[in-house]
């Protein structure tokens, strides 16, 4: 199922994400594993209804964002970016790891060179 490129409300984007993640029953069991499946599904549907008082908490919202990222479904991030005029994009964990490794290697190399210089300076004083 292909999701629309634009959502008019955050509730539309949340519903599209929940559908992409397998529907309210599946998502509710991930959000609230200790809760009865039926109760969780009903509560999630209430949270997705803009006219209801029930709303997702911040931790639940972040859980949904992460689940969307893992499923390669970015409708919620896209909505937030468009609504708040941010440019959001998924980050490749392998690229982040490679960048960190390169920085650590450069830092270690620089530290080794500084240590050699320091040892030479100490040797001259002795």
Residue 97 near residue 31, CB atoms below 8 Å:
no
Query: What is the token pair recorded at 89?
Result: 């994009």
Share of the chain above pLDDT 90, in %: 79
Task: Determine whether 95 is exposed, middle or buried from the number of CB atoms within 10 Å of its CB (0-12, 13-18, 19+).
Answer: exposed
Residue 25 has pLDDT above 90, yes or no: yes
Residue 44 near residue 31, CB atoms below 8 Å:
yes
Alpha-carbon distance of 11 to 33, in angstroms, equals 23
Q: What are 41-100's pLDDT values in tens digits?
A: 999 999 999 999 999 999 999 999 999 999 999 999 999 999 999 988 888 888 889 999
In the chain, where the domains are located: 10-84, 91-126
φ/ψ of residue 120, rounded to 5: -65, -45
């Amino acid at each position: 199922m292909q999701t629309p490129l634009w959502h008019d409300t955050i509730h539309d984007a949340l519903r599209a994400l929940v559908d992409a993640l397998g529907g309210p029953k599946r998502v509710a069991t991930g959000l609230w594993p200790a809760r009865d499946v039926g109760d969780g599904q009903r509560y999630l549907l209430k949270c997705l209804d803009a006219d209801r008082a029930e709303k997702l908490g911040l931790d639940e919202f972040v859980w949904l964002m992460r689940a969307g990222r893992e499923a390669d479904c970015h409708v919620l991030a896209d909505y937030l970016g468009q609504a708040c005029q941010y440019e959001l994009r998924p980050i490749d964990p392998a690229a982040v790891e490679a960048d960190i490794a390169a920085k650590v290697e450069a830092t270690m190399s620089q530290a080794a060179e500084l240590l050699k210089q320091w040892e030479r300076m100490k040797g001259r004083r002795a």
